[in-house]
A and B are shown apart, each in its own frame.
Chain A
Amino acid sequence: MLEVIELHSHYGTAHILQGLSLAVPLGKVVSVLGRNGMGKTTLVRSIMGLTPPEVRSGDVRYQGEALRGLSPYEIARRGLGLVPQGRRVFRSLSVLENLTLAARGPQGNGKPAWTLSRVFALFPRLEERKHQRAGTLSGGEQQMLAIARTLMTNPSLLLMDEPSEGLAPLLVSQLRDQILALKETGIAILLVEQNLGLAMALADEVYVIEKGMVVFNGTPQDLEANPELRQRHLGVG
């Protein structure tokens, strides 16, 4: 289980995360919702040990171990896998090179390891394009590659930052099915989203954040039943 405890993160003098706490239980999908600029990416970067921002107080714990102060590669090797906002595939590398670059074998978490053939079964598109340079893929294909690249490191928890950003509705529903398939493998997911529908369809638990603080925590059904809250913090009825 991933625990974020009273986290305070800053960019220089800007105090962005203001005592944010949340938890992602083993094997669950937890969604973080919030409007632009509310600190979602800051949260993901703080968990992953990426700087900036600078974490000035609070803790991040994974399976009971403190992650704060470790470097990103050490955090990744403890089982966290980042699928960053904006995909950030290695543009000049081929699809295959992107996938094998950081591949790590089974991580001893008892689950069958992700291999090229398993990843291609989930994203057949990538197999068709495996020799193509990643920079020439479409946005949707790049998103699949960003997810697949991280799966190849065999993480036990995925941090996905707005995977649906910029995708056409048809691709978003395809992405939903793919993330559902991932969920069924028992991997835990922290899913940052602005697409309420996608988050509601996938999440076991939802956090809404505003200005670096949690303003709502509950099940998707609770959020569904509270249009006033959705209107105030997410701008959708």
Chain B
Amino acid sequence: MPLTFYLVQAFNGITFGALLFLLASGFTLIFGLMRVVSLTHGAFYLLGGYIGLTALRPLGNFGLAVVAGALAIGLVGVLIERFLLRRVWGQPLAEALLTFGLAFILADAVLMIWGGDPRNVPIPRFLRGSVVAFGLFFPKFRLFTLLLGVGVALFLWWLLACTRVGRIIRAGVDDLEMVAALGINIRAVFTGVFCLGSMLAGLAGVVGGAFLSLYPGADAEILLLGLVVVILGGLGSLEGAVVGSLVVGLLDTFGKAFFPELSYFTIFGPMALVLALRPRGLFGRV
């Protein structure tokens, strides 16, 4: 196969990885601090996408629709954390059942409101078409997704490394109880982190609605890929989410190009291998 084929596939894989990162970064942030595996994350993605789609007409601007999707899901996240998750926090089985059950409820609500036909968030005019370089076509919207992913990664890195909230989050990952015993209201930090993680899922949904499309079942598919990302990279690790997203994006893209009939194996095979050799993932600590 010609080199250009590999270049195009690599570009597609990396940009798909950027979309996965938007989702997985929030997921891993929540797990890192709260030790909660938020199985609602896929449903947050889909709901955020539909909300962005609906908000696009009145707002008239793709950027504002992304913000609307993110804010709406952030609010949903805060309500779920404060009124439901908080009651079962520290009981992994109850947390899993709660977040899983909520995922079903949200998926049904989405089906009721927006129906079962696939919908696309229209790509704004200035992001349509491609950039031509080396005689190859690079779709502008994919480039935009890549930049967004890099931007979110830099923002999260700054938040964790350079701010007081970030220090508290990192300390909480080390020893949650001691953070509380030093007089910090860790519950308030939980709510904030869950809100941020949820917002990222909502944001990913609106972008994903233009990148892929929105349909019942897209929530479970993206959640599955997100889980593979964080298992590969290591639950709770930001670097892990970056590397895991790129690996899964590339595996998915090349897998589908070379062995379309084995597309699940090309993702889950390497994941199983990593789990067997290094159960905490590439960058994980637990």
Contact = CB atoms under 8 A, between A and B. Distances in A.
A109 B182 CA distance: 18
Give the interface size class of chain A: 20 to 34
B119 interface: no
B131 interface: no
A17 to B, nearest CB: 19
Contacts of B185: 73
Nearest to B182: A102
Contact of B180 (A73, A81, A90, A93): A73
Contact of A84 (B174, B181, B184): B181
A53 B244 CA distance: 39
A126 B102 CA distance: 48
A95 to B, nearest CB: 13
A40 interface: no
Contact of B184 (A91, A100, A102): A102
Interface string A66-96: 0000011100110001101000101111000
A90 B181 contact: no
Contacts of B179: 101-102
Interface string B171-195: 1011101111111111100000000
Contacts of B181: 48, 50, 72-73, 76, 82, 84
Main secondary structure of the interface of B (DSSP, over half): helix
Given A88-B178, A90-B175, A104 B170 contact: no
A29 B106 CA distance: 57
B256 interface: no
B20 to A, nearest CB: 26
A101 B167 CA distance: 7
Contacts of A104: 183
A81 B183 CA distance: 9
B275 interface: no
A48 B178 CA distance: 11
B177 A50 contact: yes
A73 B183 contact: yes
Nearest to A135: B174
A93 B186 CA distance: 17
B170 A76 contact: no
Contacts of A71: 180, 187
A76 B167 contact: no
B182 A97 contact: no
A72 B179 CA distance: 9
B25 to A, nearest CB: 19
Contact of A93 (B170, B177, B182, B184): B170
| Pairs of residues from A and B, 6 with the lowest C-beta to C-beta distance, nearest first | A76-B183, A102-B182, A90-B171, A72-B180, A90-B174, A82-B181
Interface of B: 164, 167-168, 170-171, 173-175, 177-187
